[in-house]
């Protein structure tokens, strides 16, 4: 029961760091020839990975490396899951004395941060395992061989929903104060818009035929703007609400770069800053009317 509660909490607030203790733990009954698996110290990942390894009866050493409680994908992108991080762990825990080989299995999603050449220079061979740890048994039984399915990153609707939930909560925390300051009479509608944009950016963004997530966020504002412009009669309120919607959609589209498997390498900062400055300038001008 406690595990389910932790899972729900850590899914909703997945943008928060949830560290567990770094460690080198023996799973099952490993010997000196047993594989060494590496992961981050994000509590959610470690709990489920250990459960899987024990359930499948896999004998191995699990290195829980200190990434400050950040998941593998984000830690690698942030530069805190690196070869240096792993080498430090290997040294502190004297891992080399527990095995008669030099091979360590890395999460495939750690590739952006871990330089295998640096590992090799210190006598370790880093190999990338499957994307999902549920393929580890087949991967290890096949002699560390991966098929195409093991290399494919799936971003299905269940994962999109979980990401959308987390993204919505995060954006609500960021936007709640500006909404209360500039749209106190419409705060419920403002928060509803936050959730509309954040969930849409995860669930349906792939149907919008533009590349950048910022553009997708702006595209999602079009039906909202159309509804506003056809239903509101006060011209000043029309302009103010339009600028608020534009800024909100741009922010959530831009922020989705850090909450999506698809947008980590996009560069939209200058465009976002320009849109936000334009919206603020126009909104400020309406206060003089």
Provide the pLDDT for residue 260.
Answer: 52
| Residue 176 pLDDT greater than 70, yes or no | yes
Residue 111, SS3 per DSSP: coil
Confidence of residue 152 (pLDDT cuts 50, 70, 90): confident
Confidence of residue 73 (pLDDT cuts 50, 70, 90): confident
- Of residues 134 and 74, more confidently modeled: 134
| Residue 1 pLDDT greater than 60, yes or no | no
* Residue pair 156/168 in contact by the 8 Å Cβ criterion: no
Q: Which domains does the chain have, with CATH numbers?
A: 2-151 (3.40.50.11600), 157-286 (no CATH)
Provide the pLDDT for residue 71.
Answer: 87
**Residue 51 backbone dihedrals phi, psi, to 5 degrees:** -60, -40
Strand segments (E) across the chain: 23-27, 36-39, 60-64, 103-106, 125-128
Provide the pLDDT for residue 228.
Answer: 94
* Residue pair 119/96 in contact by the 8 Å Cβ criterion: no
How far out from the chain centre does Cα 235 lie? 40
| Residue 268 pLDDT greater than 90, yes or no | no
Tokens 């250990």 correspond to 50
* Separation of alpha carbons 92 and 111, rounded Å: 23
The burial of 112, by beta-carbon neighbours within 10 Å (0-12 exposed, 13-18 middle, 19 or more buried), is given as middle
Taking alpha carbons only, the member of 149, 156, 77 closest to residue 109 is 77
For residue 145 the two structure tokens come to 């061989």
pTM as predicted = 0.76
């Amino acid at each position: 029961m406690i595990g389910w509660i932790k899972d729900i909490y850590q899914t909703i607030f997945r943008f928060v760091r949830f560290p567990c203790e770094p460690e080198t733990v023996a799973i099952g009954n490993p010997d000196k020839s047993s594989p060494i698996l590496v992961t981050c110290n994000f509590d959610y990942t470690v709990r489920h990975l250990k459960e899987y390894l024990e359930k499948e009866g896999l004998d191995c050493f699990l290195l829980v490396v200190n990434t400050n409680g950040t998941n593998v994908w984000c830690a690698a992108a942030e530069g805190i899951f690196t070869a240096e991080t792993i080498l430090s762990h290997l040294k502190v825990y004297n891992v080399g004395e527990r095995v008669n080989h030099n091979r360590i299995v890395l999460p495939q999603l750690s590739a952006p941060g871990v330089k295998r050449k640096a590992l090799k220079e210190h006598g370790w061979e880093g190999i990338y395992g499957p994307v999902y740890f549920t393929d580890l048994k087949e991967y290890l039984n096949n002699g560390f061989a991966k098929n195409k399915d093991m290399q494919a990153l799936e971003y299905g609707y269940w994962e999109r929903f979980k990401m959308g939930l987390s993204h919505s909560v995060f954006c609500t925390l960021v936007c709640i104060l500006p909404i209360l300051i500039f749209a106190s009479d419409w705060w419920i509608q403002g928060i509803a818009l936050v959730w509309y944009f954040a969930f849409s950016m995860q669930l349906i963004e792939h149907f919008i035929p533009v590349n950048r997530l910022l553009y997708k966020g702006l595209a999602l504002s079009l039906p909202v703007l159309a509804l506003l412009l056809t239903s509101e009669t006060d011209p000043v309120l029309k302009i103010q609400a339009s600028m608020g919607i534009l800024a909100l959609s741009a922010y959530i589209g831009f922020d989705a770069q850090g909450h999506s498997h698809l947008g980590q390498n996009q560069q939209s900062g200058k465009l976002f800053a320009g849109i936000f400055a334009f919206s603020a300038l126009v909104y400020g001008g309406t206060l003089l009317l």
